[in-house]
A and B are shown apart, each in its own frame.
Chain A
Amino acid sequence: MTSPFDRPRRILVTGATGLVGAQLLLDLAAMLAASGASAEVVGTSRGGSKDGAVIAWDMTESAPPALDGPWDVIVNNAADVRWTMTPEEATFANVRTLDGLVSLAAPDTHVIQVSTAYATGRAAAVASDDRADYRNTYEWSKAAAERLATERFPHLTIVRPSLIMGRRTDGHAERFAGLYVLLRGVASSTIPAVPAARGAYVDVIPVDDLTRVLADLALAPTPPPAGEPTVFTVACGPEAPRVEEVVPRMIDALNAWRVERDLEPFGQPKLIEPDAWDRFFLAFAREHLSPRQQRALDLLRAYEPYLQITEPRPATHVVRDVIPAVELAARAWADRFPRLAAMPLRPWKARADTQESFA
């Protein structure tokens, strides 16, 4: 097969040791090999990789000579995805890093900014700089990054994925964030209950469903026209599973892993309506639970908004049938962290058995 490009194109992937970036490098390599096209694909991350294949670069500092531009395509995956960052941390990690890309881009470089489906916050737009319009500083900073990228890069595509878990094929993930907190919390007996709205959508996609979209964009023969960015949202949208299905299936998958090792299964965490959570459960918790259990509940507050979304995400690329991938992701997490997955049951000192539950 002949190369679809006039010359080997240069593709830079930031955040290349992260969940999305690492998978994207694999997908690009596979697609290039299959097509016979030639391209220089270089990955960077803040710490680089131990084998040197991914170049270390703190994007708030000058790029090393190995990254000299111009690049035909830059896929910016670099991000700190914690939902608990201070505004300063979020700005530094998710907005200031764009500055580092300016010197590497030519006027016709196609920049693909990986954002989040939740960057539109509560106001369904990224225009606001008011933190109150977003669920957390992560969303707020990703909206700011979209605005800045729009100013800086004329040929811009913004890709907004929903929550991301491991690969559809085998559950593998380079990093475990977002919904994995439920597995972690159940395994370490720090989550007795989950505040979730009845029927809430849990819009979670396998990472390889996202990276195929990114790879197609990166390998497109021409950049998008200059002007307003093209925005893609990769999400389940109306096909998203509901919280009543996702949480039990994740824990069932974890428990299947445990039973195979003669370990007692964990109980399912109670799903408690937000109103009952605030009015009854927290009051109960403050009175009866240990300081650590209470601290875990405080930390979990960052995750609450994502289990209370009862309107589907609008999606341009609809991802379907994710429950099997969620189960594989849970097993892959257990394989990666057997010590946590095999933790003994440590009963709560007081459980929420009498609280409202729709599990």
Chain B
Amino acid sequence: MNTFKGRPVIGGSLTGEALVTKNGFNPLATFQRDVILRRKETRCGDQNNPDLAGRPITGKILVIPQAVGSTTGGLVLQEAVALGVHPAAIICALPCDTLTATGGILAKIWNGRRMVIVDGVGSEILHRVKTGDTLSISEDGTITQLCATPEEGSP
């Protein structure tokens, strides 16, 4: 059972299913279509991110290096949280970027809604945790890999 330690940017404790990408997470490209259409769930709309494109993102624990892209990304992320289509948590392997931080902080302060953000976890998490694994996050930013999905090809 692997554990990782990060900094709680927006603290909280929860357990959920991991969705992992080693590429930058682009909030505008991910959410723009589903936010425009006011959908109840989001599938990632970023065609430039092969790990995420087309995958359901709502309620997942999104594990990313950092967010990238347009500086409108923070607002789009806030709107996704307001609409309730956001990931339950975002874990940044690197130090948090301005888009992720702004999205989470705006939603917390202006919409009264919380999306947990943990940052600075280290790049090892991107290699050890696979999409589909169960992760648990605690208030202090400790992340525990509870259940790993079997490696492809293993019995």
Does B associate with A? no
Residues of A within 8 A of B (CB): none
